[in-house]
Structure 1
Amino acid sequence: MGGLRKLGAPFVTRGPSGVAVRTRLRQLPTTDVEVLRQVGAHLGSLASRDLKARCRDGLGHDSGAWAVRKRELTPVSSARWAGAITKATHDQWALARRGAHAYLQSLEAGVRTLRHRLSLPIGEKGSKHAPGGYRSRREWHAKSRRLHVLEDRLARARADWVAGRVCVVRGGKRLARMRHHLTEAGLTETAWRERWEAKRWFLQADGESGKRFGNETIRVSPEGEVSIRLPAPLAHLANAAHGRYLLTGRIRFLYRGQEWGDRVAAHRAVAYRIHHDAMRGRWYVTASWQKPVTRTMPLAVALAEGVIGVDMNADHLAAWRLDEHGNPIGNPRRFVYDLTGPAGHRDAQVRHALTRLLHWATTCGVKAIAVEDLDFTSEKTREKHGARRRFRHLISGMPTARLRARLTSMADQTGITIIAVDPAYTSRWGTQHWQKPLTTSTRRTTRHDAASIAIGRRAQGHPIRRRTAPPRTHQSDGRGHRTLQADRQALGREGPRPRIAGPRTRSVPPDTARKRATRTPNTVRDVRSDQGWVQDSLLLTE
């Protein structure tokens, strides 16, 4: 046991702190579409200019520089539009800064692994926690050249990090690179240009509590009327009072519509974003607002009705329900999803699987779901796993962070608590202690099902193994219970079965009168017959 790492304690995850809902803008005439395009393009150019200024300031940026940038944007837009643009710029710069830090850590891990493996003799086997040497001289030479490449990248990344330089592309780096590969992407230059411009538009505004309907820039009434405060250069396009443009179509939020309506009626802050999907030719409105974080339930209270342990895999969720003593109940459940295809399809598959999981938990009456606190950030490098491309592709395709965030957000509406546990050794110990005992002629228990039991028992604080070793002195309960399936106070769980009134078998009891009439007598008697007197056979006993 000395080689095992220390396990972390299970904890209750925090609920979501914000809400975002989306709906479609329908029945937009040509005039409305043209106004939205002009406003988005104008504010998008201002956002690009502001992002350039923020990147130029780097680490020397302060509140004074922020105020200067906002004053420069106010005359060509408005005070509220300028505030929304500068805030979005700060968020984008901070996101790029976090991405640069993650890239720097990945390079450092790769260089460290390459140096270690290159220092070992060729063909030396690795240990359990460290990789070994390379298999051939040719591979060693190729990896030495890659080490120089990574060291150069690391030097540039460190210099950029110290200087505060970040790489940001408004519209997305992937779409920008697609411009040079239009044939492979199946796009024309006109179609690509339309998508590129739509991605760079800016039509989002932060909410303000106390203002009418919670937002002065993009205002949505409880009846679904959408109006936009036009920037100063486009004020001549207004069709309503105070320089506003009222869209023709109305919107309605189907999901959380009542909650949104209550906030708008109370004039509480709601942020809106209008964006155009160039591939489908549709316009959408996204409403978002903050909410107080749900108070986490104590761990003991959440586990009072048992728990459902969930093991996440590349193509399904393996789940098993456990009672309050850690015993599996019923049969395992499997929720399949497909993580191939575009991001929208993958996200929909994850949401559908989680919806079925939560419906099952609600039907069972369980108030807690246990999941692993997985993090594959340091496990995806090619330097660590070498030629195991399938394994690297497998762990890279598992959306661990998104699945946990989705599950926490969706479970908040159903009153189910999400418990995160340490993922160490759950698959190995679950297979060792639970797979074979739970496999029957009618049920095939997989190692993923066994891992779900291990996850649930770890959340409850029980050891994963089924039984402890008996006392060394004698084979009895002189030193207490030898099984850890139940608590000492759970009387009757290991005692004799209660006396049940009725027959001992499942068959119907026979008719007493009929049995007495048809049974063979055991005594000697004479019977009158046509042949005369006949004596029955005697019952010979000693």
Structure 2
Amino acid sequence: MSGLGGGDVVGGLRKLAVSFVVPGPAGVAIRDRLKHLTPQDEKVLRAVGEHQGALASRDLRARCADGHDHSTDAWAARKRELTKESSSRIAGAITKATHDQWALARRCQAAYMKTLAAGIRTLRHRLSLPIGEKGTKRAAGGYHSRGEWFRKSRRLAALEDRYSAAVADWQAGRVRVVRGGRRLLNTRHHLAQARLTEDRWRERWEAERWFIAADGESGKRFGNETIRVTPNGEVSIKLPAPLAHLANAPHGRYTLTTRIAFAHRGVEWADRIAADRAVAYRIHLNVDRGRWYLTASWQRPVVKTIPLEAARARGMVGVDTNADHFAAYHLDRHGNPVGGPHRFGFDLSGTAGHRDAQIRHALTRLINWAVRAGVAAIGIEDLDFTTEKTREKHGRRKRFRQLLSGIPTGKLKARLVSMAAEQGLSIVAVDPAYTSLWGAQHWQKPLATPHRTMSRHDAAGIAIGRRALGHPVRRRTAPPPHDRSDRAGHRTVQAGPGARGREGTRPPTTDRPPGGPSPSGKRKREPSASNTVRNAPRTQQWVQDSLMRTG
């Protein structure tokens, strides 16, 4: 899947972007199930979620109405209105969540405009070409018939109208947000296909719109005053003012009968609450399973990423991302492949939970192998399929478009960065241009042996690793312009200046042990010289005759 990114074209080839070290994660989130809740506990949680969810919906509507006219005074006024029906801390959590949701909608709006612009450019290019003109690897050709040309011209007009409307919304500060999710909202019109009843959908819809969350506060008891979790796992909630009559603890609080114990990062969480450092909590209901969950999250101090040269010091693992597997190769710091290719497969079919588990499992195996290899960083492509997912570029190749859309590039980046940081590994992002093409050209055939199968994706992993290390993809540069290499410098880029045997050619095989037999069985040891006088070489015969005369 390499080599599909966009960019400037210089001399017939796209200008490559500079590799960089991806910043590490800035936050942590862990989750545990609230088990054995009593009917009264569930009643209180539902009441709090419905009440605060209604307040959040009203606040989001007010924020969207403000648009670009929003100010700190308007924010303070909204918070004062919410405080009357909840509390100051709950109002602060709701307004902050509203601003985050509005900002996310703006980023999605910008991405939508970028996608429309890419489709419009492709349509205009193809419509400007003669009918039936063939395309190239870098640009699509003309349309096959006049009928198709006419339909695409109408689609161009439709996309231009959508783009104009999106630009007008962007300039006016209008966003369209659905609390609970637009996908779930549209599912209401397709209950049969979703295998849901109206009551079941309604239950899921209401649960998604609830709001039971609170931001942490450093210096407060256990890092949070609204949703408090003690070191022994006791969970208590500060009830809003209209629901204060449901409290079963002093100061308008309700304590759940259940206890929680975070199995993952539990020690780190306990250290934070023991020092009264801020921890944010969120309680939500999984309708399908009928289970309640508590999620704890906190921010990490900003850690400066290591320099690129430090990430390259111990070599690199180059990873080629594909629709069903990661193709990885270990390279030393000079760019030489070490060992054989490694593939880590995953299956992206099925439910979202299954896909997420498959990605995590594949990344876990990849990271563990990189740790065993002793490298300090993993090189991966900075993939962006925005322009590749459009119908205008791959209109007839529907399965290929579905393949591109199915690769979770955003989730993959976030997962890999956070999981690698826990093992002390850095991530180096490289430009994906021509990695598959040049990798297959320079590395697939030389590394293929009867005992090693090299695919195009394995060769792309080498190309990605070499680009992350700062080396060219090809194995050797062009010969020196003079008759002697010491006048213009050594021509190889694979080994350091002091490496032995750097002037020699690469052996045909690389997977046999030192001194071991050839895996192909074709290369054999040269025959030894004969010990008899009749079959001795002329030089040996001359020496023997001389010795006999002198004797």
Whether 1:340 aligns to 2:349 is yes
The 3 A distance-change label for structure 1 pair 119 and 481 is closer
* Residue 233 (structure 1) aligns with: 242
2:48 maps to what in 1?
39
Q: Give me the whole-angstrom Cα distance separating, in 2, the residues matched to 1:475 and 1:441.
A: 37
Q: 1:400 aligns with which of 395, 409, 423?
A: 409
Letter matched to residue 170 of structure 1: R
State which of 276, 286, 299 in structure 2 corresponds to 1:290.
299
> Partner residue of 1:124?
133
1:475-521 CA deviation, whole Å, 9 max, x = no partner? 7767543322211133566689xxxxxxx9999xxxxxxxxxxxxxx
1:488 lines up with 2:497 in the alignment: yes
Structure 2: give runs of 5+ residues left out of the alignment: 1-9, 506-513, 518-532, 534-547
Q: 1:506 to 1:260 in 2, by over 3 A?
A: closer
Kindly report which structure 2 residues correspond to 1:137-156, keeping only aligned pairs within 5 A, or say none.
Answer: 137-156=146-165
SS at 1:370 equivalent: strand
Deviations 1:378-405 (A, max 9, x none): 2211112221212211211111222122
Aligned-pair distance for 1:321?
0.6
Matches of 1:369 and 1:244, distance apart in 2: 48
Residue aligned with 1:41, SS? helix
What is the CA–CA distance in structure 2 between the aligned matches of 1:129 and 1:482, rounded to whole Å?
Answer: 31
- Confirm or deny that 1:259 pairs with 2:264: no
Q: Distance in 2 between matches of 1:375 and 1:447?
A: 20
Q: Take 1:78 and 1:344, find their aligned partners in 2: how far apart are those partners?
A: 36
Residue 55 of structure 1, CA deviation: 1.4
Say whether 1:244 aligns with 2:253. yes
Q: CA deviation at 1:19?
A: 0.6
The residue aligned with 1:533 is: none
Q: Does residue 1:390 correspond to 2:399, yes or no?
A: yes
Q: Which SS does the other structure have where 2:447 is aligned? A: coil
Q: 1:2 to 1:240 in 2, by over 3 A?
A: same
Q: Does the CA contact (< 8 Å) of 1:17 and 1:290 recur in 2?
A: yes
Q: 1:304-335 deviations in whole A, cap 9, x for unaligned?
A: 22111111111000001111221111111000
Structure 2 counterpart of 1:163, one-letter code: A
Q: What displacement does 1:142 show?
A: 1.1
- Per-residue deviation, 1:182: 1.3
Name the SS for the 1:411 alignment partner: helix
CA RMSD, 1 decimal? 2.3
Contact 1:209/1:268 (8 A) holds in 2: yes
Letter in structure 2 aligned against 1:185: A
On the 8 A contact 2:481/2:488 being kept in 1, the answer is no
Instruction: Note if 1:163 corresponds to 2:153.
Output: no
Contact 2:33 2:292 in 1 (8 A): yes
Question: Is 1:78 paired with 2:69?
Answer: no
> For 1:216 and 1:320, how far apart are their aligned partners in 2?
50
1: distance between equivalents of 2:17 and 2:516?
Answer: 50
Residue number in structure 1 paired with 2:541? none
* Counterpart-to-counterpart distance in 2, 1:164 and 1:259: 41
For residue 227 of structure 2, what is the aligned residue in structure 1?
Answer: 218
Secondary structure of the 1:377 match is coil
Q: AA paired with 1:381?
A: T
**What are the within-5 Å matches in structure 2 for residues 360-371 of structure 1?**
360-371=369-380
Assess if the C-alpha contact under 8 Å between 1:12 and 1:418 holds in 2. Answer: yes
**CA 210–506 in structure 1, closer or farther in 2 if over 3 Å, else same:** closer
Matches within 5 A, 1:122-521: 122-471=131-480, 473-474=482-483, 480-491=489-500
Asked whether the 8 Å contact 2:477–2:492 carries over to 1, the reply is yes
Deviations 1:194-221 (A, max 9, x none): 1111001000100000000000000011
Q: CA deviation at 1:67?
A: 1.1
Q: Residues 492 and 502 of structure 2 are in contact (CA less than 8 Å); yes or no, is this contact kept in structure 1?
A: no
TM-aligned CA deviation for residue 342 of structure 1: 2.1
Q: Please tell me the residue identity of whatever aligns with 2:494.
A: Q
Task: Please show how residues 54-93 of structure 1 align to structure 2 within 5 Å.
Answer: 54-93=63-102
CA–CA separation in structure 2 for the residues paired with 1:505 and 1:207: 64
Q: 2:476, 2:494 within 8 Å by CA — same for their partners in 1? A: yes
Is the Cα–Cα contact under 8 Å of residues 480 and 490 in structure 2 kept in the other structure? Answer: no
Deviation at 1:464, TM superposition (A): 1.2
Percent identical: 68
The worse-fitting range, judged by mean Cα deviation, of 103-112 and 8-17 is: 103-112
The whole-number CA distance in structure 2 between the counterparts of 1:378 and 1:219 is 46
1:256-280 Cα offsets, whole Å, 9 max, x none, are 1111110000000000000000010
* CA distance 1:494–1:105, change in 2 (3 Å): closer
Seen in structure 2, the aligned counterparts of structure 1 residues 128 and 365 have a Cα distance that, compared at 3 Å, is closer
The answer on whether the counterparts of 2:119 and 2:387 sit within 8 Å (CA) in structure 1 is no
Say which SS state the counterpart of residue 205 (structure 2) adopts. Answer: helix
C-alpha distance after superposition, 1:55-83 (max 9, x if no partner): 11122111111111111111110111111
> Which amino acid in the other structure matches residue 288 of structure 2?
M
**Higher Rg of the two aligned structures:** 1
8 Å contact from structure 1 (residues 9, 422) kept in 2: yes
Name the aligned partner's letter for residue 267 of structure 1.
D
Q: Secondary structure at the match of 1:56?
A: helix
- CA change 1:505–1:161 in 2 (3 A) is closer
Q: 1:114 aligns to what? A: 123
Residue by residue, what CA displacement relative to the aligned partner does 1:443-496 show, whole Å, maximum 9, x if unpaired? 110011111111111111111111233345547767543322211133566689
Distance in 1 between the 2:353 and 2:159 partners? 33
Matching residue of 2:29: 20
Aligned partner of 1:328: which letter? P
Q: Distance in 2 between matches of 1:443 and 1:454?
A: 18
Q: Secondary structure of the residue that 1:451 maps to in structure 2?
A: helix
TM-score by length of 1: 0.89
Secondary structure, counterpart of 1:486 in structure 2: coil
Cα distance in structure 1, aligned partners of 2:164 and 2:307: 47
- Secondary structure of 2:201 counterpart: helix
Deviations 1:140-194 (A, max 9, x none): 1111222222233223222222222211111111111111221111111111111
CA contact (8 A) 1:14 1:293 kept: no
Asked if 2 retains the 8 angstrom alpha-carbon contact of 1:310 and 1:320, the reply is: yes
